Structure 1
Amino acid sequence: MSEFESGRNTRTILLAVVVIVVVVAGGIIGFLFLGGQGPTDTTTDTEPSGDRITILTRHDVAIHNVFEPLFLESDFAQDNGITDILWKTPSAEFWDDLIDRGEIDVAWGGGPTIFDQLMRDERLATLDSELMQEVAGRVPDQIAGANMKRNDTSGDLKWMAAAISTFGFTVNHQFLDEYELPTPNKWTDLADATYGSLLPTIPTIAMGNAPDTTSNTRIYEIITQGLGWDTGWQTMARMAGSANIYSGSVETQAASENGDVGVSMSIDFYGYLTQYRNPDCEYIIPEGQTIVNGDPIAIPHNAPNHEYAEGFLDFVLSCEGQALWLDPSIRRMPILECAFWEPAAEDAQDLYAVYNQTVDTVGIDFNDTLSLQINAAFTRYFEAVFTQAHTELVDTWNLLVTSYLDGDISESQFESFAAMMGTPVTIVDPNTSEDEKFTAEYAVEINEQMIYDSDFASTMQSLWTAAAKAQYQDVYNQVSALLM
């Protein structure tokens, strides 16, 4: 990744390095968050006096802090002596191991792809009890054309959405005004040369590294599905050339909120929260270029406290529980409209108009099955060609933009070179020794091996990075030759 330095009052975000602490005890080394006591666990320092439920989640601590006390005060928790929640928040790659250990009661949040993978691998319980059927009856089957419940191939209900989201970007109008940049309305706007006009010193866009953020990955999938595969990757290459790439969605969002960039990739609730905190910021849903997602909640097939888990789902999908999404520290869209009639929603009626806009959203025809089939290959490819080859990408994009804006190359030349720069690369497949372009079909073909064979995944990523650097250098050389 390139380092951007600015002499124009641009602040630098220091990326936090998450350290996995390894403890040696009696010669046995264990990852702490797999053992249940590392920094990814949030609970009290002492053992609870009553029973506890354990929740595996991608939700941040703000959500824990709002939902936990209200659930523990509920009649269900009181009647069953539940006095504590243990929150486990590792990245998605560790979910399978944690569930397989039989320690997880509820899986909650992180987007459909994670839960579809868990369903595919038979790690989710069927939600078929009388209570779960009642809860499922509260949840709409679809919102804005997107499924809010998921059944497996046998027709058994495996997860339900507990909240809804759109995907777009957050703009910082003060930044855009200061540098005389236009306000974008679509993903394709962000591929315009003007957003690269401050290079090489000032990135204007914040993008999350795909393996580190499920919400930003969904955005990249929307772009490739909505615009077409090659055009989508070409568009993202131009965006990434104007961007700084961050290690997660929180860091990506903070960049626009703090005024370090003009535009951040955003899931809606991060955008609305930033908008609430900073009046210079605005969350924008790209015109006809988004989707509505249902963010799942489910019960692992081997949950040690299945009855408690059902009680938690019942609480989250009650009107009272849904209203908690509207808390000022969260400001997320509930899936149930009745949330807005609860006393807790009194100060969040501004979000009701947003809710109605969300449920009326007309987005792209998104293929969830394809997303599941290519996820590992897709995210590793993104990292290989954009994050790990970022310096070369920025250098090439900067030369292209400068040459075009200075009138040294024509618009048609600029578009042609930009397409060459971003077209998915071709490498020699290490299994077959055949040339393979990174197409959607090829991503499907190699995805399982990318998941389960770490050596293969590492080799592929290295090959893609090398090919991307060579491709960027080739475009750089061709443009340079025209300027001589």
Structure 2
Amino acid sequence: MKSTRAWWITLGVLALLIALPMLLRKDTTQRPAPGTRRLVVFTPHSETIRREFSEAFSRHWRAAHGEDVYIDWRSPGGTSEIRLMLDAGYKAADEEKRAGIGVDVFFGGGEPDFASQAKKGRLLPLRAFTRHPEWFATGGPIPEFFTGERLWAKDKTWSSSCLSRFGICWAPTRWRANGLPDPVRWADLADPRLRGQLALADPTKSGSVARAFELIIQAEIQRSLQAPERAALPEKERLALGWTDGFRLVQRMSANARYFSDSSTKIPLDVADGNAVAGMCVDYYGAAFAHQVNRPNDVRLIWTAPAGGTTVSGDPIGVLRGAPEQELAQAFVEFVLSPAGQSLWSSPVGAPHGPRDRELFRPPVRRDTYATLPPERAALSPYVGTDHLQYRPELTAASFGTIRRAVRVMCIDTHEELKDAWAEIIKAGMPADALAVMGDVSALPYRAGGEGDPGLESRDALVSARRMTELGAIFRENYRRAAELARQHQEKR
């Protein structure tokens, strides 16, 4: 009898422990009341961003129109997953002669993702351009280009809503314990003293991560074009050398990596927690985690923009073709781009038009918004920086797909072999012949006009997969040979 009573008491305690968090948790998934208008949004944005914009737009719409709005957020993952859903959805819609897929807005991602959707005819012209032309006029608050990056579409089908930069997040105590000077360039992440201590993300899972790898490679191409020691070489040769330098830099950074995460948000968390010394992450993740973990006498995380190695890119928003609530969708975009909507991105909690629950730490796209922020926030404006990379799309834009898949086969699928080769090379004292074999990227040559590898860029999934398998075998063999050469050097020492 006692054992039965104890069993029921134990079961009751376990049930209470499971139920208590659910009872105390703030409900963020309330269903709409009858008669409420519904806006369906595809987004990779975090739950915090979704909640703040949902509540702010609902208040705005109710005040202006006396109607309630429910935003039905659909977040299947990163932009890569959203792209797959859009492709599948619109393929079915086209076959069934339907205009849309039951989704109103695409909110968040990278410029390449939105440019691709616009090219496929899946985005509608934004009403904001006709209702508020002053926002987009020359000298207006939302520039068409910045650091060579396009911030709104020439056909006016999308506009950036906020900005981002990729950079280095690093733990100062652990970094300096390796005897390293503070990082200022991407190349600092390739130092062999960082072996096994970096955190990186998979570019095939995130468009923004893929863009970061593209920028690393393009920065090396631009450096090669401007290098005095290469001035006498033909431009074609300088381009090819820069491409090779870029891939070798990515390769060495990857050789230092502990892992490649499917989620870029994991990286600053691991750096702050001491599970990695440094990693790549966007500025707002770095700022958010630094705000969360740093104390006046205990700085656990610093975010640094690599000198001449990153651009300021936009995070766009657009209305999808066949949107069931097209008027509401256009109004939502206008709100996001308005002064009130822009204030949500970087204002402190409780500020006029600021977030109510948690700060978002995102740089707004509107230049005039920074004048309304506290001085310490305004000073962080990407528009005031001078050491940006000026993006040149003719150099690498056409090979965007090649770069993201090449990093996958060269660094992720072959990561164990790469790490083994790197470890043996370091142990052998960095012999030049072994380094040359490990860094042989001739299977991925730079092509005229910056065109990508035909196999990796193919729309035929079987062709692309076959090419990835072929390249994977080449790099595995390179790494095996490099490790063997390094071991031979060790035996001679």
Normalised by the size of structure 1, how large is the TM-score?
Answer: 0.78
| Alpha-carbon contact 1:144-1:361 (below 8 Å) kept | no
What are the within-5 Å matches in structure 2 for residues 89-104 of structure 1? 89-90=75-76, 91=81, 92-98=83-89, 101-104=100-103
| Alpha-carbon contact 2:456-2:468 (below 8 Å) kept | no
Letter in structure 2 aligned against 1:131: R
The one-character-per-residue Cα deviations of 1:75-107 (angstroms, maximum 9, x if unpaired) are: 467516242001112323223334554322111
Partner of 1:67: 53
| Alpha-carbon contact 1:160-1:296 (below 8 Å) kept | yes
Closer, same or farther: CA 58–448 of 1 in aligned 2, 3 Å: farther
The one-character-per-residue Cα deviations of 1:256-283 (angstroms, maximum 9, x if unpaired) are: 1222111110111111112212222111
| Alpha-carbon contact 1:166-1:358 (below 8 Å) kept | no
Partner of 1:384: 409
| Alpha-carbon contact 1:374-1:443 (below 8 Å) kept | yes
The one-character-per-residue Cα deviations of 1:329-365 (angstroms, maximum 9, x if unpaired) are: 31010111333455xx55xx4221111x544333223
Partner of 1:13: none
Letter in structure 2 aligned against 1:127: L
Partner of 2:115: 116
Closer, same or farther: CA 300–44 of 1 in aligned 2, 3 Å: same
The one-character-per-residue Cα deviations of 1:52-79 (angstroms, maximum 9, x if unpaired) are: 1111112111110111101100046751
Supply the distance in 2 between the matched residues of 1:451 and 1:307 (Cα, whole angstroms): 37
The one-character-per-residue Cα deviations of 1:391-433 (angstroms, maximum 9, x if unpaired) are: 00000111112222xxxx5xxx34x53343133252xxxxxxx
Closer, same or farther: CA 286–385 of 1 in aligned 2, 3 Å: same
After TM superposition, give the deviation of residue 133 of structure 1 in Å. 3.6
Partner of 2:441: 424
After TM superposition, give the deviation of residue 47 of structure 1 in Å. 5.8
Partner of 2:227: none
2:385 is the alignment partner of 1:360: yes
Q: Secondary structure at the match of 1:54?
A: strand
Supply the distance in 2 between the matched residues of 1:312 and 1:215 (Cα, whole angstroms): 23
| Alpha-carbon contact 2:145-2:151 (below 8 Å) kept | yes
Partner of 2:279: 264
Mind listing any 5+ residue stretches in structure 2 that lack a counterpart? 1-27, 94-99, 221-241, 295-299, 349-357
Closer, same or farther: CA 291–177 of 1 in aligned 2, 3 Å: same
What are the within-5 Å matches in structure 2 for residues 376-415 of structure 1? 376-404=401-429, 413-414=431-432
Partner of 1:146: 149
Supply the distance in 1 between the matched residues of 2:371 and 2:385 (Cα, whole angstroms): 20
Partner of 2:484: 477
| Alpha-carbon contact 1:158-1:298 (below 8 Å) kept | yes
Q: Determine which structure has the larger strand proportion and give its number.
A: 1
What are the within-5 Å matches in structure 2 for residues 59-458 of structure 1? 59-75=45-61, 78-79=64-65, 81-90=67-76, 91=81, 92-98=83-89, 101-127=100-126, 130-131=130-131, 133=133, 135-137=135-137, 138-151=141-154, 156-196=155-195, 203-227=196-220, 228-243=242-257, 244-279=259-294, 280-326=300-346, 327=348, 328-342=358-372, 345=373, 349-355=375-381, 357-368=382-393, 372-404=397-429, 413-414=431-432, 417-424=434-441, 426=443, 437-440=444-447, 444=451, 446=453, 450=457, 452-458=459-465
| Alpha-carbon contact 2:105-2:319 (below 8 Å) kept | yes
After TM superposition, give the deviation of residue 483 of structure 1 in Å. 2.3
Supply the distance in 1 between the matched residues of 2:458 and 2:108 (Cα, whole angstroms): 21
Supply the distance in 1 between the matched residues of 2:321 and 2:63 (Cα, whole angstroms): 22
| Alpha-carbon contact 1:373-1:447 (below 8 Å) kept | no
The one-character-per-residue Cα deviations of 1:372-406 (angstroms, maximum 9, x if unpaired) are: 533333222211111110000000111112222xx
The one-character-per-residue Cα deviations of 1:129-176 (angstroms, maximum 9, x if unpaired) are: 63254554442223344332121xxxx222111111111111111322
Residue-pair matches, total: 410
Supply the distance in 2 between the matched residues of 1:447 and 1:250 (Cα, whole angstroms): 32
Supply the distance in 2 between the matched residues of 1:239 and 1:258 (Cα, whole angstroms): 21
Letter in structure 1 aligned against 2:316: P
The one-character-per-residue Cα deviations of 1:219-242 (angstroms, maximum 9, x if unpaired) are: 110111110211011011111111
After TM superposition, give the deviation of residue 113 of structure 1 in Å. 0.9
Partner of 1:21: none
| Alpha-carbon contact 1:135-1:314 (below 8 Å) kept | no
Closer, same or farther: CA 218–449 of 1 in aligned 2, 3 Å: closer
Supply the distance in 2 between the matched residues of 1:191 and 1:133 (Cα, whole angstroms): 46
Partner of 2:40: 54
